[in-house]
Every structure is written in structure tokens, then in C-alpha cells.
Amino acid sequence: MVNDVCADEDWPYGTHCLDGAVYTAGGTEYTVSEIENRKEEEPAVLGEFTDAEGWRPQENVFVGDCMPYTCDGRYHVLYLKDRRHHRSKWCLGAHQWSHISTDDFKHWQIHPMAVEIDDPSEGSICTGSWIREGDTHYLFYTIRSCDGTPAKICRSISKDGYHFEKDRAFAFTLSDTYKGVSARDPKLVLDAQGRYHMFLTTSLTESGELLFEE
């Protein structure tokens, strides 16, 4: 953040705090603030637009990996906010989950970002899924790490379906049978007995054995 404007999303990887730092460029003085400082209690609707075909959220920002979900007569689309076609954050993507919705597929509303990068070690928030249990909404996803360590399966939680918070107590990685860094796209399915099953995309290690054969 520079003077309260998001000027870039290639967050530095490290622990040094730049909050309050001042620098001069082109004769103009700028003040740097951490991304958390711009978080406020945002309204559920930040803007509106008509007709989604060909729509982009802003210049040089693209829509990737749409994740559709329907609830209470409204159709929601979560998508990966993509700048520079995956080249941000040393080509890790720096993707975050953005959120739009409609009730007629013509008039769309723009909502607060569902899952943001808020830790320098996060290289990208990868594709996942949305489920609702009772009055609680859950987003499940993996986080690609900047240092190449196994991707963590994580979740965010919301009571209204518009303001999500990361569940810091929930995170796990795959067993050693799989290449943890390749864990992607958790999808949850509810079976007839009321048990949730999670499916993920990943790859076996060289020593891993196939669990199923056709």
C-alpha cells in the first residue's frame, strides 16, 4: 500500500516490517503501509456491473479458475484474481479469491475479496470449493508457499457468505506418499450418510504406491 492505494501485489518475502516507511520518487514523497491497515468493516456490496461476458475487474487484472456456487436464490462466482498472467510473486501467481454474484445473470454485484494473501510466505491462494453447513459458510483451498514447502490445505469461514476470515487453527498437508508441494484444488462432497469427502489434485512421490487401479 502506498498512500492507501494498492500499488502492487508482489509482496516481499521476509519478516521486515515496512509499515510507515517513507520514500521519495520523482520528487514526490510516499508513505508505505501494510496491507492489513486497509482492512475495515466493508459493506457486502462494493460495486455493480452489467453483463459478465468479457468483463474484467480492472485493467491488467484477469479472471481465472471460476468457482460457482448457488445459495438462497443467488448465484455466486469466486475466481482467482490474476495479475500479469501468473507472473506475480516470482511466477507463483499471487492469486487471491475475488467474489461476484447475481440473481438474474445480467446484473452483477462485486463483493469483498473472499481470501486474501496476508502473509509474505504465501505465494498464491489456489482453487478450491465452497460448502455450507447450517448457517456457516466454509471455503477450502490450498496455499502455494514461496519457499517450496508442502502446500497447506486451509479454510476460511463466514456467517453471512460475504465476509470471510481465515481459520488459523485449521491447516494440514498431505502424507509423504504424495508430493506435498503439488497439492491443489480441494473439492468436498457430502455422501448419503452425512460424511464429507475431500478430493485433491496431487502427484505421487517416486516411492509412492498407487492406492487404486482401474
Strand partners, 132: 137
Is there a domain that residue 212 lies in? Answer: no
CB 121 within 8 A of CB 13: yes
What is the total count of domains within the chain? Answer: 2
Query: Do residues 83 and 139 share a domain?
Result: yes
Helices (H), the chain: 88-91
d(C-alpha 85, C-alpha 2), whole Å: 23
Q: Are residues 164 and 193 in the same domain?
A: yes
pLDDT average per 10 residues of sequence, the chain (214 residues): 57 61 72 55 91 89 94 96 87 94 97 92 94 96 93 96 96 90 93 94 74 44
Nearest to 163 by CA among 41, 69, 63: 41
The CATH code of the domain that includes 46 is: 2.115.10.20
Structure confidence by residue, pLDDT tens digits, 55-114:
999 888 899 999 999 999 999 999 999 988 888 888 889 999 999 999 999 999 999 999
Q: For residue 112, is it within any domain?
A: yes
Domain around 55: 41-201
Identify whether residues 35 and 113 lie together within a single domain.
no
R_g (Cα) of the chain, nearest Å: 19
The pLDDT assigned to 21 comes to: 74
pTM of the model: 0.81
Shared domain check, 56 and 21: no
Residues 47, 109 within the same domain: yes
By the 8 A CB rule, do 77 and 99 touch?
yes
Q: Is residue 68 one of the residues assigned to a domain?
A: yes
The answer to the question of residue 124 being in a domain is yes
Residues 55, 151, single domain; the answer is yes
Phi-psi region of 176 (alpha: psi -120 to 50; beta: other; left: phi over 0): alpha
Would 207 be classed as within a structural domain? no
> Domain for residue 213, yes or no?
no
Residues 86 and 191 in one domain: yes
Nearest of 114, 117, 121 to residue 79 by alpha carbon: 114
Please answer whether residues 204 and 177 qualify as being in contact, where contact means their C-beta atoms are separated by less than 8 angstroms: yes
Residue 38's pLDDT is 46
81, β-bridge pairs: 63, 96
Q: Which residues on neighbouring strands pair with residue 165, listed in sequence order? A: 157
